[in-house]
Amino acid sequence: MLERSDNMGKIIQLDDALSNLIAAGEVVENMASVVKELVENSVDAESKNIKIDLLESGLNEIRVTDDGEGMSKEDMKMSVKRHATSKIKTSHDLFHISSLGFRGEAIPSIASVSHLEIISSEGEIGYRIFLLKGELKEEGEYAPRKGTSISVRYLFYNTPARLKHLKATNTELSFIVDYVNKIALSHPEVSFTLTNNKKTIFKSTGSNDYLKVLSNIYSIEIIKNMAPFQGENQYFEVSGYITKPIFNRSSRNHVTVIVNNRMIKNNKIIYAVNEAYKTYLPVGKHPIVFLKIDLDPLLIDVNVHPQKLEVKFTEERMLLSLIRNTIGDKLKSLSLIPEIKEKIEDKVEYVTLDLDSPANGKSSVVKEDFVKYIDGLVEKKKIREKSETLEPSKKIEEKSAPTKKKIPRLEYIGQYLGTYLIAQNEEGLFIIDQHAAAERIRYENYYKRMAAANIETYELLIPITLDLSNQEVIALKDLTDLLIPLGIELEINKMNTIDILKVPTWFIEGYERIYTEEIVKFVLEGKDIGIMNVKDSLAKSLSCKHSIKANKYINKNEIEKLLHDLENCENPYTCPHGRPTIIKFTQNEIEKLFLRIM
């Protein structure tokens, strides 16, 4: 312990051991953060094969082995010193970062809270060092094998408080699997293998194809329902895969964001993705999306977080708008009617896939049809990319071809429980939720009228006073301008309350106060008060309150108009809250249920 003499000042410089422990608190949160730091070093070393071996989910040992450039004896010793890095040398490099690791804190921080062993070779001579509490204890020559192997044993053995707060071993393992999934997506050209207690959990082939990596993470059913997207503007290029809304999750964690081959966390980007799926998904559900963003390194700052997970963008609004519009346009082009399929008892829930070699061992579950299916998708992708190089005149001809209706023409045949409409055509049997369909039709009608460039309004003969508290009146004074684009004009009267003077013509007569109060409430709650959000929220609310309800029988004319209006919706597949409006039973599936075909 450092003792302070009377001549010593209050401010002292911390020694390296204590500095590393403090840095470890920022960089090393759990086993997954150790795996992240070690694997990213291996990627930066231009490795083609990276293997992560765990014992007890990494609590007893984490070993990362690669076939990268390797290190000399001098570089190995330097790598365990603070702020020692090969990735940057000048301030100019800091703003042109292409590597994953660059801060020079990871290895010394990990060494300060573990038993650390490094074995490395550039090809001719191997070398080994062993550190305890960050101090070099052993060193010497070792058998040469080009690449590096780093072993981290007994993590947090000297920081029991941090050890105590680790989660259950399976939970910690799930964090590691999640990271490996995402690093494999950010670097599909590298083969990653993850084992725990000698059992293979994940293996990618390094074939440089994103769809093949995704097939190691998700089931065949999800892969079948993935669609590629691509968009760009003057600063950014976005691409990747989205899934149909029927495949969703309760967690946002399945929106994977890769920026310049770096996995990141960015709530604004995830929000933009969710905005694109707005009204396609139920409340509380999130899509499965792989989003790849490419941009000039000058437009991104990756040096804002010790673990390099969070980044800052220049021209961020343009990026978010591009993401929303690109994914939104792709969703509009897809057929999204859910098909009811017979349950398959032998469904594979988790697939470990090695497409370049035959499966062997108990840990690999590979179905021959799955392999063929993925290869088929890859081949289709190549054909699609080739078609994108067609002459401009051919592209124009393709785009000008008539578009297929999103919902086919339906023949109404009955109603069930006064709630569900039954219809048919040559494709199969369709069931429509009349309330959800009416909500969708009204929502789009309200939204289009509110979004019109010139909203028609009329003045009230007798102003209507809003029922607001004095605090709400004061808060609303600075926000009344937000309501003008909606066609609502308010005025503070002599009693220091607020009157409605003007409303849009699409307000239903007698509902002027109710509609205006809903809008005012939305604004006062401090949500995102961008005008498009106000319009969207109000359109949802109005469409729900004034649509055909369940358990209400409607006549044939009303039904035919409902089906016609639904066919002409921009998104006829879900209500504004994300519930399905229509589902489909194919003739094949119906005949299977009746055992007509096997």
Residue that has been written with the tokens 């998104």 in this structure: 571
Identify the CATH assignment for 411-440+549-593 out of 3.40.50.720, 3.40.50.20, 3.30.1540.20, 3.40.50.300.
3.30.1540.20
16-202 is a CATH 3.30.360.10 domain: no
pLDDT at 24: 44
> How many CB atoms within 10 Å of residue 43?
22
| Beta-carbon contacts of residue 561 (< 8 Å; ≥ 6 apart) | none
Mean pLDDT value across residues 460-484: 80
Phi, psi of 217 (to 5 degrees): -105, -40
Please give the average per-residue pLDDT across 109-122, as a whole number. 90
Lowest mean pLDDT among 128-142, 457-471, 511-525, 531-545: 531-545
SS3 per-residue string spanning 48-68:
CEEEEEEEHHHCCEEEEEECC
The pLDDT assigned to 529 comes to 45
pLDDT at residue number 551: 57
In whole numbers, what is the pLDDT of the chain averaged over residues? 78
Give the start-end residues of each E strand in 122-272. Answer: 126-132, 135-142, 147-153, 191-196, 199-203, 226-232, 236-243, 248-249, 255-259, 262-264
The region of weakest confidence among 178-187, 201-210, 387-396 is 387-396
- For the ranges 171-185, 391-405, 512-526, the maximum mean pLDDT occurs at 171-185
Closest listed residue to residue 381, CA positions, set 260, 181, 241, 231: 241
Topology of 457-504+509-545 in CATH? Ribosomal Protein S8; Chain: A, domain 1 (3.30.1370)
What are the distances in angstroms from CA 167 to CA 61, 194, 341, 391? 16, 20, 38, 57
- What's the distance, Cα to Cα, between the start and end of the chain in Å? 78
Residue ranges per structural domain of the chain: 16-202, 218-333, 368-399, 411-440+549-593, 457-504+509-545
Sign of CA dihedral 482, 526, 464, 445: positive
pLDDT > 90 fraction of the chain, expressed in percent and rounded? 29
- Cβ count near 478 (within 10 Å): 8
Q: pLDDT grade, residue 6 (50/70/90)? A: low
Q: Which of 240, 214, 211, 221 is nearest to 377 (CA)?
A: 211
- Separation CA 282–CA 279 (nearest Å): 7
Torsion angle of the four alpha carbons 235, 241, 244, 248, in this order, in degrees rounded to the nearest 10: -100
pLDDT at residue 102 greater than cutoff 50: no
According to the per-residue pLDDT averaged within each range, which of 7-21, 92-106, 355-369, 550-564 is highest?
Answer: 550-564
Q: Fill in the DSSP letter of residue 580.
A: B
Residue 130 burial by Cβ neighbours in a 10 Å radius (0-12, 13-18, 19+): middle
CB-CB neighbours of 249 under 10 Å: 14
| Helix/strand/coil for 484 | helix
Per-range mean pLDDT, top range of 290-294, 477-481, 565-569: 290-294
pLDDT of 39 over the 90 cut: yes
Is CATH 3.30.750.80 correct for 218-333?
Answer: no
